[in-house]
Structure 1
């Protein structure tokens, strides 16, 4: 039940009155192509951080800094923005997290409008990062403005704005950043605005995340290339042998067949297959992989994809038996598993199924822990209440198949903090894909939900 001291109607009116400004801020952020990958201009990433800092200043956030940390190689990581409003005596501190870096746009010709040319149409704002995760940034900006204006002197919460700059590239220096700036970031409650709703009109609180391990598998079957006519038959090329090995990673249903991984069919709600196919653009003739509920396959079971292959390109391939081939794998791991266990399971599987005589090397890459929320946390109840007030619809608790490295990292650094994962993305936001967008009504409701949540926490 809502407390009588939460001025719901005044907060709602303020969010609505401020929303045109919020859209303009989101457009300005989308127009900056900040990508934290080595292949892209770091000046754009610095410009993105500078814009976030300027918008935070105009939103009345105090004590704004642009910070970074050095990675294991000694190189500085991407710039992050941190702003701090200290709590009044007796009030808790809430961290508001989002990230300003974005995925590369891919082929710009596949976008209806330019990836970095924000365009408002059909009730949505289109552009790279509009949903993931610049919608999270403007949510935190608008929420702070609203509370400052409406609550005035009653606003006692401490608020730490933390806008990361390298989430989409794997948060390589995040551990070092948290260690170096722990005193600045220490919080009682953490709101991570990097997820989404169940569907348009139905809010969701994300309560679990799969973890991630990735890496490469290199197979060498010959010392050098051979004429495919002279030697083909008794000798198989490395691409074929690698394909045979990769095929052992899944069983006949398409489920991951690597022994030793955690897997559970325990998701408390399911999604209709037709709805899932529409959301994922899966053609009717393509069979869905795995068994059990669709949500379990997405949230509480592992998923493995081959996301890259080093072999001769078709256009320049000669009639040669290829001596080496390399595949890059991405393995999502279920809550309860660990990256160390998952990599050990992959290595055991490769040793067991490697073609006889072939030299196979597994090299590990990134790793991220899975996450399961503490549903007994008082902040969870406050978040669910705020969502129902904002949407006028009962919220659902959902898992997410993706990984947010920051969440498990924050849980490790601040084990007493209550973590809430929210966001404005909907099933058609197409984050990471062409024509990414955010539904503007969902964004407005997401802002109101955060405002109501913070106002409720302010009573503590």
Structure 2
């Protein structure tokens, strides 16, 4: 494999480029919206299309319907393999073929289901998430051809945008088919279209419903207001008690971490402000790097609150209320541990002796890359060769629970999280797009990485 230089691979990808973009355009046109039914015919067509593209690059690919934990029919999945040498390393390539809905086509500058190139970017639903991941896998395998030096296994999922309910049962029942030395999850993104990244970490997630009660029934605010605070005010006091004066979450037992593998470059505050729509007067909460605050420190968000709407309100002291908290946990903390710590804190800090009860929700584990793994070093070297610049690794503040589950099921595997997105990709939003020069370099990167893993 030593003869496969970056120049050779780049030339092969250039020669194949028209086909790669055409595959992506055809994938966009399929409208593979899993929210319209993961078992539906349009999702089966999408899976069959992906399987066909994989067969064209040498993978023995099949379409299989999964089953949900309750035994009902699940998503249409694409599995496959290309075994070149039983003694060679095995790499599992992951992507997903389902896409997000388009609730308002008028918010798009192009037809969301017609791939449209504007200024070096290809617009269309699923262009980046995760048609780009499928294009990367297919393009890299085509570039290597008969010189592929690793065994390939493939899993292209059909329900990632729906929370992957049948993912784990499907993997568990196909352990032998998916067992690998390295797993490449092509469903994340780069620092920018020009600067590549490995995703170093993902936060976990847990949620709880908190009910705070002060009265047995509503009472008049004029008659009893003063010594008796309404439940909404008590809830506000309780929520505020989770934070210190700097706005850092200060709940004992909830862990804060530094960026995994060290921080190469902090996030730009002006960019974060612009991307988030923060008011100029708003001062960001918390201390330390923005990267740590968004990637590896815990955060709590009130995502639901039961309160009487302003319209139709009247002078009554609310006796009780319920609010829902979503806690993003540090990558390495068990979410159930953080959930218990948060629940205990809120019960213990009930203001003015109010009654606080907690209903626990679901948990999703975070994930942290092994920065010292050989596969990690190979991936970073491949990125630098393909893009011509030093990679800047980054974490993600969100959660992808199936990645730690993959690591649990295959503990010996080295997991790499890569992907086609960049900050302008607008995945899940109107005007989703992918940088075509960035995609080309991503294809070259994966081909180089597979070549390195074979050595």
Shift in alpha-carbon separation, 1:32–1:385, aligned structure 2, 3 A: same
Give 1:385's aligned residue.
381
Give 1:88's aligned residue.
85
Give 1:334's aligned residue.
330
Give 1:206's aligned residue.
199
Distance 1:231 1:52 in 2: 66
**TM-aligned CA deviation for residue 234 of structure 1:** 6.3
**TM-aligned CA deviation for residue 160 of structure 1:** 1.0
Shift in alpha-carbon separation, 1:122–1:310, aligned structure 2, 3 A: farther
Give 1:134's aligned residue.
131
1:413 aligns with 2:406: no
2:29/2:113 contact within 8 Å kept: yes
Q: Which is further off, 236-245 or 309-318?
A: 309-318
**TM-aligned CA deviation for residue 357 of structure 1:** 6.0
Shift in alpha-carbon separation, 1:60–1:35, aligned structure 2, 3 A: same
Distance 2:321 2:135 in 1: 44
**TM-aligned CA deviation for residue 110 of structure 1:** 3.4
Distance 1:32 1:228 in 2: 58
Counterpart pick for 2:210 among 217, 224, 231: 217
Tell me the TM-score normalised to structure 1 length: 0.87
Q: Which is further off, 53-62 or 437-446?
A: 53-62
Distance 1:249 1:118 in 2: 47
Give 2:53's aligned residue.
55
Distance 2:312 2:156 in 1: 44
Q: Secondary structure at the match of 1:29?
A: helix
Shift in alpha-carbon separation, 1:111–1:146, aligned structure 2, 3 A: same
Shift in alpha-carbon separation, 1:287–1:85, aligned structure 2, 3 A: same
1:299 aligns with 2:305: no
Counterpart pick for 2:263 among 241, 265, 268: 268
Distance 1:15 1:316 in 2: 63
1:53/1:66 contact within 8 Å kept: no
Q: Alpha-carbon deviations, 1:65-119, whole Å to 9, x = none?
A: 3231332x44444332211112413211111111223344454443334544543
Across the two proteins, how many residue pairs are aligned to each other?
451
Give 2:120's aligned residue.
123
Shift in alpha-carbon separation, 1:159–1:249, aligned structure 2, 3 A: same
Counterpart pick for 1:143 among 140, 160, 169: 140
Distance 1:384 1:158 in 2: 21
Distance 2:309 2:432 in 1: 29
Give 2:237's aligned residue.
244
Give 2:173's aligned residue.
180
Distance 2:165 2:37 in 1: 16
1:105/1:434 contact within 8 Å kept: yes
Give 1:427's aligned residue.
423
Distance 2:370 2:426 in 1: 29
Q: Secondary structure at the match of 2:421?
A: coil
Q: CA RMSD in A?
A: 2.9
1:170/1:366 contact within 8 Å kept: no
1:277 aligns with 2:273: yes
Tell me the TM-score normalised to structure 2 length: 0.88
Q: Which is further off, 87-96 or 251-260?
A: 251-260
Shift in alpha-carbon separation, 1:282–1:192, aligned structure 2, 3 A: same
1:106/1:434 contact within 8 Å kept: no
**TM-aligned CA deviation for residue 355 of structure 1:** 4.2
Give 1:287's aligned residue.
283
**TM-aligned CA deviation for residue 180 of structure 1:** 0.8
Q: Secondary structure at the match of 2:393?
A: strand
